[in-house]
Structure 1
Amino acid sequence: MSFRWLKPYLPRGLYGRATLILLLPVVTLLLVVSVVFIQRHFEGVTEQMTNTMIREIRLVLGTDDPEVAEMLDISVQPVPEAAMPAQDTRLWYDFSGIVVARELHAAFPDLLRVALADDDVVELYFRGSGGLLRFVFDRRHVSASQPHQLLVNMVVFGALMTVISFLYLRNQLRPITRLAEAADAFGRGRHVPYRPAGATEVRAAGRAFVDMRARIERQIEQRTLMLSGVSHDLRTPLTRLRLGLAMLGEEEAAPMLRDVDDMQRLLDGFLDFARGAQEGEAEPVDPVALVRRIVDDMRRAQVAVTLVETEGTGEVPLRADGVRRAVENLISNAVRYGTCAEVSVTLSERSLRIRVEDDGPGIPPESRDEALRPFARLEPARNQNRGTGVGLGLSIVVDVARAHGGALRLGESARLGGLCADIVIAR
C-alpha cells in the first residue's frame, strides 16, 4: 500500500519529523488507554452501581413509607409539570451519564426524564397516582466521583512527558542541525566553524564531513596554485617574445603579435578559472544594480548588450567580483556566437536569476552537459571557428554559481532563438 499521498502533509524539517515521531506513539497510547478504560472501567463500574441504585428505587416505588426513602438517602418530592425538563439532560463531558440514563430507562419503562444537571445529584421524574414525582439522590450512588479525573491526569502527564522528551531530543538533534548548516554553508562557498559533537554516529558523520571539506579545500588550493604558477611562469617568455617582435618590422611581426595576444588571452582564462569564485567573502549586494553596472561597462567597450528586464528589489549575499566575471563571460560568449545579447534579472523571495540570451546557433540539449565541462569545445553547435577560447568560460560560470549555492542552466531563448543561460542562486 502506497502512502505517497501523505508526503505533502508531513513536516519537512528534522525537528518537525522528530516531534511527529514522538507525539504519534504518545497520542495513540492515550487514545487506546482512554477507549479501553471508558469501555471496561467507566461503563462496567457505572452499570454495576446503577443496577444497585435501581433496586433501591424499586423498593421506594413499591412502598408508601417515607422512612424507607429517607433511610436509602432518596428524596421524593411532588413537583408541578413545569418543573420537568423537556428532555434528558447531562453535561457535555459527562460520559458516564450516558450509561446511567440508558440503564435507568431500560429498568423503568415509565421513567419520564433523567436530569444530570451537575456532578452532585441525579433527578428522576415519574408519573405517580398523585401527580408528578421527582426522585433526587446523590450522584455518587450511580457513578464514580470525578470520572474524568483519570483522563485529565493522562493528558496532563502525557503532555509533560512529551515536553521533557522533546527537550532531550532537541539536544540530540542540535549536532545534526549544526552539521547540516556547516554543509550548506560550505556548498555556498562559506567556511563555518564546526566541531563534531553528539551521538557516536553523528560524530562519525561530522568527522567525515570535516575531512572531506579539508580535502576539497586542499584540492582547490592546489589547483589554484598550479594554474596560477603555470600561467605566471608563461608570462615571462611571452613578454620576451613581445619585446623581440617589437624589433621586427610591422608587417612581419603583426601575425606573430596576434598569436602572442591569443596566448595572453588563454593565460588570462586559465587565471580566471584558477581563481574561480573563491575570492573574498560574500557580502550583501544589490544584484540589479550590479548587473546594470556590468552591462553599462560592456556597452562602453562597444559590446552589443542590453539590460531588458529587472524584477524585484533587495540585497543578496554575493561575491561581487565572481558574479561580475561570470556575467561578463556569458555576455562575451553571447556576442561571440551571435550578434547581440540581452540580460534580465529576476529577484524573488526564494531565488535570484540572472539570464543572458543571444541570437546565435545555441547548444543542442544533448550537448549542454558537455558544454559545462572545462576545456569543452563544441564545434558543430557553437561555431568555435569564431572564438579563440579554450572552453573555460561556462566552467567559470558554473564554479561561481556553485560557490553561491546555485546552478547554471542552459536552454533555448524564446525571445531571440539562441542560447538562454540562467544563473540561479537560492536566497
Structure 2
Amino acid sequence: MSFRWLKRYVPQGLQGRAALILVLPVTLLQLIVFVAFIQRHFEDVTRQMVRSVAYDLRFLTEEVRDAPNLTAAYRAISYIAPPLNLEPRLPADATPAEDQRRWYDFSGIVIIDSLNERLVGLEAVTLPDDRDANIWVETPWGDMMIEFDRRRISASNPHQLIVIMIFFGVILTAVAYIYMRNQLRPITRMAAAAAEFGKGRIVRYQPSGAREVRQAGRAFLEMRNRIERQTQSRTMMLSGVSHDLRTPLTRMRLALSMLDDDEAALLRKDVDEMQHLLDAFLDFARNDAEDDTEEVDPVALVGGLVEDARRTGGDVELVREETRPLARLRPVAVRRAVSNLIGNALRYGSRVRVTLSVSERMLRVVVEDDGPGIPEARREEATRPFTRLDPARNQDRGSGVGLGLAIVADVARSHGGALRLGDSAELGGLRAEFSIAV
C-alpha cells in the first residue's frame, strides 16, 4: 500500500517536520487517555449514580401505585418526595411521545438506558439541560411526572484533569520544540552556507550542534576549502598561461604589421584566430571568485549590453517584465553570460529579442532569435565545452570554438541557476533562458 499521498500534507521544512513529530504523539496520547479513561469513567460513574437515584424513584412510584385511592397517593408523595429531593406531579399535564436529549449529550444516552433498565412502567425521559431531569412513570391514577436535579445522575466534568493535561501538554511540547529548534539551527545554518556557496558566495560558517552535525559541518568546510584551493590554483595557472601566450602573440602581430604581402595578411589572420581562441579558453576557465557580489541594477546591465549590440548594427529588442531596482549578483560573470547569448543569437539570426525579469529570488534573461535553432536531441550536447553543432547552427556566419553556451551554463550553475534551451514560439529560432538566484 502506497502512502505517497501523505507527502502533500507533511511540512517540507525540517523544523515543521520536527514540530509535527513532537505535537502529533502528545495529541494522540491525550486523545487516547481521554477516550479510554475519562469516557469509561463517565459511563461507569453515571451508571452508579443512576442506580442510586433509581432506588428513590422506584420507592416513590411503588408507594403511589400501592395507595388505595388518589388521596392516599398524594399523602404518600407528601411524606416521601421532600426528603428524597424529588418533585412529583400527579397526574402529569402531558407525556412526551419519546425520550428527549440534546444531540451532543452523550452521557444522556447512558442515563436513559439505565433508567429504562431499573424502573418499571417508565414512559419517557427528558434531559433538557445540565440542571433538570424529568421522567414520566405509569400509575393507576394516571402518568406521574417526577422532576429532580440532573447533577444527581451525571458525573461532573473533570475540568481540572482536562486543564492539567492540556496545560502541561502545551508546556512540555513548547519546551521540547525549543530544544529541538536549537538542535536544528546548526543544520539550518550549514544548509544556508551551502546554498550561498552554490551561488558563488562565501559566508562565515562555524560548525556547532550535536557531534554528527559538527562532523558534517567540518566536512563541508573541508570540501569548500578544497574547491577554493583548486580554483585559486587554476587562476594562477591561467594567469601564467595568459601572460606567456599573449606576449609572443603581441610580438608576432607587431612583426606582421610591418609586412605588406598577402602571405603576411594570412599570418595576421591566423594570429587573430589564435588570439580569439585564447580569449575564449580563458573566459571559460576563468575563476569568478574574485568577482565579488554587489548590488547591481539589472535593467542597466542588460540594457547596456543590448545598446552595445545595437551600435554594432544588430536588430535587438529589449522587453522588461517584472523588475526591481537592485539585485545582488556578480556583474562581470553575468555580463559575460548575457553578452555571449546575445552574440550567439546575432551570429545565427537576424532578429533578437531579450526579455528581462527580476523577482525577489530570481533573475531571468530570455534571449530569442529567428535563426535555425538547435534540435531538441542535441540541446544538452550544445552546452558542453568545445561542442560545435554544424548541422544545427550555420558555422559560416562566424568562427567559434564551442564555448559560448558552455560559459553561460557554467556561470548559471555557479550562481545557483540554470541554462535552458528551447524553441522560440514567436521568432521561430532558439530560445535560451538564463536564470540565476539573486
The equivalent position to 1:114 in structure 2, one of 126, 144, 151, is 126
Equivalent residue, structure 2, for 1:303: 314
What is the rounded CA distance, in whole Å, between the counterparts of 2:35 and 2:91 in structure 1?
A: 39
In structure 1, what residue type is equivalent to 2:323?
Answer: T
Q: Per the alignment, in what secondary structure is the counterpart of residue 62 of structure 1?
A: helix
CA contact (8 A) 1:343 1:354 kept: yes
In the TM superposition, what is the alpha-carbon distance from 1:35 to its structure 2 partner? 1.7
Structure 1 letter corresponding to 2:301: L
Structure 1 residue 241 displacement after superposition = 0.9
The aligned counterpart of 2:71 is none
Q: TM (normalized to structure 1)?
A: 0.88
After TM superposition, give the deviation of residue 159 of structure 1 in Å.
Answer: 2.3
CA–CA separation in structure 2 for the residues paired with 1:414 and 1:90: 66
The Cα shift of 1:255 comes to: 1.8
Give the residue type in structure 2 aligned to 1:333: N
Question: Which residue of structure 1 lines up, in the alignment, with residue 330 of structure 2?
Answer: 319
Distance 2:382 2:221 in 1: 32
CA contact (8 A) 1:344 1:356 kept: yes
> Which residue of structure 2 lines up, in the alignment, with residue 5 of structure 1?
5
Unaligned runs of 5+ in 1: none
- Checking the alignment, whether the CA contact within 8 Å between 1:127 and 1:133 is kept in structure 2 is no
Aligned-pair distance for 1:138? 6.4
Q: Residue 231 of structure 1 contacts residue 270 of structure 1 at CA under 8 Å; is this kept in 2?
A: no
Of 142, 154, 157, 1:146 maps to 157
Q: Which moved more, 1:334-343 or 1:166-175?
A: 334-343
Q: What corresponds to 1:409 in structure 2?
A: 420
Tell me which residue corresponds to 1:285: 296
Per-residue CA distance 1:89-132 (angstroms, 9 max, x = gap): 5595x5434322332244345343433623x6645455763775
Answer whether contact 1:125 1:135 (CA < 8 A) is retained.
no
Aligned to 1:104: 115
Match of 1:336 among 319, 339, 347: 347
Higher Rg of the two aligned structures? 2
- 1:387 is aligned to 398
The reply on whether 1:270 has 2:284 as its aligned counterpart is no
Alignment correspondent of 1:48: 48
SS in 1 for 2:391: helix
The gaps in structure 2 that reach 5 residues or longer are 64-75
Does the CA-based 8 Å contact 1:85-1:115 persist in structure 2? no
Aligned length: 423
Paired position in structure 1 for 2:249? 238
Cα distance in 1, alignment partners of residues 174 and 23 from structure 2:
10
After TM superposition, give the deviation of residue 196 of structure 1 in Å. Answer: 1.3
Q: What is the DSSP-based 3-state SS (H/G/I as helix, E as strand, rest coil) of the residue aligned with 1:346?
A: strand
1:187 aligned residue (164, 173, 198): 198
Distance 1:239 1:79, change over 3 A: farther
The residue that corresponds to 1:29 in the other structure is 29
Distance 1:85 1:405 in 2: 76
Quick one: structure 1 residues 79 and 423, their matched pair in 2 at CA, closer, same or farther if it must change by over 3 Å? farther
1:58-69 counterparts in 2 under 5 A?
58-63=58-63, 64=76, 66-69=78-81
Q: Which residue of 1 aligns with 2:181?
A: 170
1:341/1:151 CA distance change after superposition, 3 Å: same
Q: Aligned partners of 1:204, 1:235: CA distance in 2, in Å?
A: 46
SS of the aligned residue for 2:175 comes to: helix
RMSD: 3.0
Residue 263 to residue 219, structure 1, CA distance change in 2 (3 Å):
same
Aligned partners of 2:147 and 2:370: how far apart in 1?
A: 97
* Higher mean C-alpha displacement, 39-48 vs 123-132: 123-132
* CA–CA separation in structure 1 for the residues paired with 2:418 and 2:283: 18
Q: What displacement does 1:47 show? A: 1.3
Looking at structure 2, the residues matched to 236 and 280 of structure 1 have their Cα atoms a distance apart, in angstroms, of 25
Counterpart position of 1:398: 409
Alpha-carbon shift at residue 72 of structure 1 (Å): 3.8
Distance 1:161 1:178 in 2: 26
